Chain A
Amino acid sequence: MSLTDGAQSQPRDGNFETSELRNLAPSPNTGDSDTVLEARNVGVQFGGLVALSDVSLVIPYGKLVGLMGPNGAGKTTLFNVLSGFIRPNSGSVSLLGRDVTSASPQIRARMGLTRTFQLPDLFKSLTVAEHLSLGYRLHHKPKRLWTDLVTPRAWGKPDKAEVEQVEKILSLLGLEEMANVLADGLPTGLTRLVQVGLGLAASPRVLLLDEPAAGLDTNETRELSVALSRAVEQEGTSMLVIEHDLDFLLGITGFVYVLDAGRLIASGSPSEVAQDRQVQSAYFGTNG
């Protein structure tokens, strides 16, 4: 099975072509116009520890891809490399056809790559809706960061488009009633949903989700999988999702990468990788 089967190229208009982003060189590696994010031969070492070795993967436009692996496999390290929090010792990362290996997380975010974290990390003094508003403004109205200071806009009503986007995401994640609740003290399940919403509010081209279903019960997990599938279908957002729960991944993706001890050991449909002997060995210490 090919990962890009059926993927549609969906370049969208946006404001990411700022001067600092234009300085990024076109990626020499990206040959596939359907690819939104690509890692090639990525290697990361922490001292003598090899965290990632020769890892390559692609995320096509408008596809949700899973990333699995036992604890310590290097999944979060790979996320950190893809999102710019860690610079790899070897290999390269390209985003929308640009080589972003050395680009900061901020630049990648402005290009349309956002992520969530394994440990929910919200902005405690903001409400749920304010999280989404901030995510929306930073990507759709980035100049407001400065112009708000010298205009009376902050005293007026929020933009209609902003309200619509916030309401849409609240509805998508079932958070309408919690819109005006402060993030401080939210239960873990809600925190994870707000993190996903924060990522979606930026209308990203690619969203990296680090164990979004951890701590959710069965119903919540089902709701989340529906929400993610909708975001992919309706918005064309590409996603890479770390998850241990194979059933969760089965419901939302047709393609999964499996990492073990820093190496990519398998890729394919969830049912295919479930049958893979290396995967079974990695998870259960046995070949079957």
Chain B
Amino acid sequence: MLQYIVIGVVIGGIYAIFAAGLITTFQASGILNFGYGAIAFFIARTYYFLLVQHQWPIWAAALISILVIAPAMGFILWAALFRILQQATTLVKVVATIGLSVMLPALAGIIYGNPVISFSPGLVPYPVPSYTVLGVGISLDQINVVACVVLILVVGFVVVNMTEWGLVIRALVDSPAQTSLTGTNPKVAAAAVWTIATCFAGLAGVLIAPILGVNSDNYEFLIVAAFSAVLLARFINIGVAILASIALGVVSSLLNLWLPPTGTVSTGVIASVPFAFIFIFVLYEAVRRKVPSNPGGGGGALDRAITTGGAVSASHDKAQPSDFNTRPDFRLSGWRRQKRLPTAITALVILLLLPVLLSPFWTGRVALGLAFGIVFLSLRIVMGEGGTIWLCQASFAGVGAMVSAYLITDHQWPLIPAIVVAALLTALGGSILAYLTTRLGDLYVALVTLAFGILVDRLIFTIPVFQGSLNAGIPLVESFATNDTTFFYILAGLTLAVVLFVEHFRQSTAGLALSATRWSEPSSRALGLSVVQIKVLAACLSAVIAAVGGAFIALSYQYAVPATFDTIGALVWIAVFVTVGVRSTLAAVVAGILSVVTPAIFQTFFPTSISDLPPVLFGLGAVLLANNPEGVLIMHAEQGRRLIAHTLHAGRRIFPTVEARSSDVVD
């Protein structure tokens, strides 16, 4: 058993290094960096590139990657991204850092190449010495991990609690603006924190490379596991996070001892431990009726006040409707309030002509994009209207696909009843999840839904009925789906129906109520609204739409494969969707098509050396959200409108600003 505990301590130590970095940067800026694992991977990949691919000595490779590139990267990311993100909404913060996690591994692939690296040297020359401690063999690489944890704990405690810098960092948590009033430059302090934290990310990345290899998926998985410890530490206490990390590692390791050594269930259970911790945490808080709201960090009232640009005046004597964003008159019918109806009809006509203009292959790609668009439309309700950061939508789509395929292929059910059953299952899951998370703060909801998705991946999708023969998934063939053009028109019709439903929901009383609960739960409750009912309804509808989309994705592939719906991999879906426009129905469909067609274009027309460019572009788009939170479609639509107005009116400055008109297209 001691052997397993030692291994558990090492695994927990890896979680702890990441958790400490996440908490430190969160405290300095209020940003939970979903890209922290990707940064660690990038530095580890750089180290491997120098050490192995270019035969540099260990000390030189470590010096350049950990002490030169990592801090430079940390500073650049702070200056270009995190500094701007500090006052952004939680959704933008999460998606921008998800963008980072999508972009950096792909960028590393383009720069350094894409070999499979299952083993990489660490900071110790080969052969790595091994020692026996209490009868247990432990390598110097593993000792390094534990030593790093101890170093972080000691240095972190001393710096945070016993130095002036620590005081400044703690003050930054509550209010950078107030901190600046003490004569301290909060930007310097924040930049220093991000720079040092990135060094630690690089160090961690290099240290764990000998244990896990240099594989971006492993690093992403680790960072998500570290979120469990961050959550248990309530985003504040590094000591608690380190203890929680060690506990997670030891429990996972001991399960290896106690569960059968082989089998997908054992593997799934062991890999699920960190995420099960998140769920236990939420249930525990629900039983205690202690509802964790958004954690602190990133500023207080003064910070918010001084970042509004002083635009909000106390008086409305001079306020005119033209000073603000407006919508069509409330007395008009729902149809006439749809300002974008001509645009939507034009888009529909173009879409319907595509099979005439495109080859069957590209028609099929667009059809698949429409299926993804349906999944994105489900996010339009829960994220766009509800404002909830829902990171498990791929799981609902996956359940829709896997259950439909199972019922159709293995039990010969007709298509529609199979999809209905799958959708009802996801509705149930979505409702329960929404009920549990209704009163949690945005960031907690993001982490809990992410954990839920990973649990579905590890525990549900790994059961044999969904793995199919040869673990390749379940075939799903329908005659109408074998013809690209027929399938396209069916999907176009279905997408149109879902678009109309989403718009119908938005205009309904329930849609207004969902918007209300998004912005102010107390005011909603004071009006007599049940926040729980509305959020559960939105989650339920969203899950059903996702399930339908998932089933059609599987129909398009003619195979339902769990890996298609992997939660961590599908974070790129979130990045694409939010980048194109989280609050536009049309943008959801466009995002779906882009997410499929863009990689296909690169694979077909460009050299393989830049096949990783689409994820870089998607990730970069998400990162750029920091400057354009409404998304690129709205931004470009506005630019297009300005250009047309400029041309038509020969430069007469009669058109309003981007800011003043942006809401017109947010419909």
Say yes or no: is B515 at the interface (Cβ < 8 Å to chain A). yes
- A180, B321: Cα distance in complex, Å: 8
Residue B508 CB within 8 A of the other chain: yes
Interfacial chain B residues near A133, Cβ < 8 Å: 330, 512
If A114-B527, A182-B325 touch, whether A219 touches B317 (CB-CB below 8 Å) is yes
Closest residue of B by beta carbon distance from A113: B526
Instruction: State whether the Cβ of B280 lies closer than 8 Å to any Cβ in chain A.
Output: no
- Answer whether A185 and B312 are a contact pair too, CB < 8 Å, given A104-B525, A117-B523: yes
Which of A135, A178, A184, A195 lies in contact with B321, CB distance below 8 A? A178
| Contact residues in B for A138 (Cβ distance below 8 Å) | 509, 513, 527-529
Residue of chain B at shortest CB distance from A115: B526
| Interface hit among B11-19, B290-298, B332-340, B467-475 | B332-340
Min CB gap B388→A, angstroms: 14
A202 beta carbon closer than 8 Å to chain B: yes
Interface string of B312-355 (1 = CB under 8 A from A): 11111101110011111111111100000000000000000000
A-B contact pairs, 17 of them (CB 8 A): A105-B525, A109-B526, A123-B518, A123-B523, A130-B327, A134-B509, A137-B512, A146-B510, A154-B507, A154-B511, A181-B325, A182-B327, A185-B311, A187-B315, A190-B319, A219-B317, A220-B315
On chain B, the number of residues with a Cβ less than 8 Å from chain A's Cβ atoms is: 48
CB pair B528 A109 closer than 8 Å? yes
How far, in whole Å, are A209 and B529 apart by their CA atoms in the complex? 19
**Chain B residues near A154 (CB-CB < 8 A):** 334, 504, 507-509, 511
Give the CA-CA distance A233 to B221 in the complex, in Å.
Answer: 64
Shortest C-beta distance, B115 to chain A (Å), equals 48
Given contacts A126-B516, A154-B508, A215-B314, contact A114 B526 (CB under 8 A): yes
Given known contacts A124-B519, A145-B509, A187-B319, A181 and B326 CB-to-CB distance under 8 angstroms: yes
CA distance A155 to B338 in the complex (A): 10
Q: Which of B312, B317, B509 contacts A148, CB < 8 Å?
A: B509
Nearest A residue to B387, CB-CB: A125
B264 proximal to A (CB < 8 A): no
A163 at the interface (CB under 8 A from B): yes
Residue numbers in A under 8 Å from B530 (CB-CB): 106
Instruction: Name the contact of A187 in the complex, choosing from B313, B321, B333, B524 (C-beta under 8 A).
Output: B313
Q: Do A121 and B312 touch across chains, with their CB atoms under 8 A apart?
A: no
The interface of chain B, by Cβ under 8 A from chain A, is 311-317, 319-321, 324-335, 385, 504-505, 507-513, 515-516, 518-520, 522-530, 583, 663
* Across-interface contacts of A248 in B (CB, < 8 A): none
Q: Which of B312, B316, B512, B527: most chain A CB closer than 10 A? A: B527
Residue contact A123 to B321, C-beta cutoff 8 Å: no
Task: Give the docked Cα–Cα distance between A216 and B508 (Å).
Answer: 34
Interface range for A: 35 or more
A155 touches B331 (CB 8 A): no
Q: A109-B525, A185-B325 are in contact. List 18 more A-B contacts (CB 8 A).
A: A85-B525, A106-B529, A107-B528, A109-B526, A123-B516, A127-B330, A129-B330, A130-B327, A130-B512, A133-B512, A137-B509, A155-B507, A177-B320, A179-B329, A179-B330, A185-B311, A186-B316, A188-B314
Instruction: Give CA–CA (A215, B527) in the complex, Å.
Output: 23
- B328→A180 contact, CB < 8 A: yes
Q: Looking at the complex, which one of A85, A141, A180, A193 makes contact with B326 (CB distance below 8 Å)?
A: A180
Instruction: Contact check, A125 vs B515: say whether CB atoms are below 8 A apart.
Output: yes
Does A14 sit within 8 A of B, measured CB to CB? Answer: no
Q: Which residues of B contact A181 (CB under 8 A)?
A: 321, 324-326
B330 touches A121 (CB 8 A): no
Residues of A within 8 A of B311 (CB): 185
Residue pair B330, A158 in contact (C-beta under 8 Å): yes
List the A side residues contacting B522 at CB < 8 Å. 85, 117, 121
A95 to chain B, nearest CB (A): 13
A156 in contact (CB, < 8 A): yes
CA distance A25 to B566 in the complex (A): 52
Complex CA distance for A115 and B520, rounded to whole angstroms: 13
Docked complex Cα distance between A129 and B321 (Å): 13
Q: In the complex the two chains form, is A155's CB within 8 Å of B504's CB? A: yes
Contacts known (A106-B528, A109-B525, A144-B509); A220 close to B504, Cβ less than 8 A: no
Residues of B within 8 A of A101 (CB): none
Find out whether the CB atom of B510 lies under 8 angstroms from the CB atom of A145.
Answer: yes
Shortest CB-to-CB span from A219 to chain B, Å, is 7
Residue A12, interface by CB 8 Å = no
Across the interface, do A122 and B325 meet the contact criterion of CB distance under 8 Å?
Answer: no
Please report which residues of chain A, range 85-141, place their CB below 8 angstroms from some CB of chain B when the two chains form the complex.
85, 104-107, 109-110, 114-117, 121-127, 129-130, 133-135, 137-139, 141
Interface membership of A35, Cβ < 8 A: no
A123 touching B331, Cβ below 8 Å: no
- C-alpha gap A145/B513 in the complex (Å): 8
Contact A110 B528 (CB under 8 A): yes
- Looking at the assembled complex, report how far the CB atom of A153 sits from the nearest CB atom of chain B, in whole angstroms: 8
Please report the C-alpha to C-alpha distance between residue A15 and residue B332 in the assembled complex, in whole angstroms. 28
| In the complex, A273 has a CB within 8 A of chain B | no
For the complex of A and B, the 6 pairs showing the least CB-CB separation, nearest first, are A109-B528, A148-B508, A129-B330, A155-B334, A154-B507, A121-B520
Interchain CA distance A53-B149 in the complex, whole Å: 52
Kindly state the separation between the CA atoms of A182 and B321 in the bound complex, as whole angstroms.
Answer: 9
Chain A residue at minimum C-beta to C-beta distance from B525? A105
Query: Which chain A residues (148-167) contact chain B, with CB distance < 8 Å?
Result: 148-149, 152-158, 163, 166
B328, B522, B530 pick with most chain A CB within 10 angstroms: B522
State A126–B516 Cα separation when bound (angstroms): 8
A141 to B512, CA, bound (A): 14
Residue of B nearest to A181 (CB): B324
A contact residues around B333 at 8 Å (CB): 155-157
Whether the pair B316, A189 counts as a contact (CB closer than 8 A) is yes
For B312, list chain A residues within 8 Å (CB).
185, 187-188
